[in-house]
Amino acid sequence: MTTQIDIAKENTTVEEISAKLFAGEFNGLPVLDDNEFVTGIVTAIDILKAIQKGKNLRAMRAKDIMTPNPSVVKKDTSIDDIIDIIIKKEIVMVPVVEDNTNKIIGVVTRLDVITEKLKEDLTP
């Protein structure tokens, strides 16, 4: 799990999101409401879809293009369950939320999973 994450608020502009995506080593951002609860995910694909539809990106916000109600996991979710979610939903990351809320505490990316599995294989 990665705990130092870039996020977008529901009213973050698509320009700001694009800048974060270009600057980082990731393809998407969790979208949070004012209470830090996960409400969606914005990926480069969402931005491409908006471009394809002829949308004015400068006028759009995260809430306009995000995929709402994303799959989330708890801190103790097994890595195999996370792999199942990533593969079945064809997603790049899964937000990790606190046990009793939808408040974000981190994300698990495809790279996190691969890195963890490689570490397990190298452990005697």
Average pLDDT, the chain: 90
Q: Which fold has domain 8-122?
A: CBS-domain (3.10.580)
DSSP assigned state of 52: H
Which structure tokens are listed for 26?
């990731």
In angstroms, the CA 38 to CA 49 distance is 21
pTM metric for this prediction? 0.86
Q: What pLDDT score was predicted for residue 25?
A: 66
In angstroms, the CA 38 to CA 19 distance is 21
What's the count of helices (H) and strands (E) in the chain, helices before strands?
5, 7
Domain boundaries, the chain: 8-122
pLDDT tens column, 35-63 = 889 999 999 899 999 999 999 999 999 99
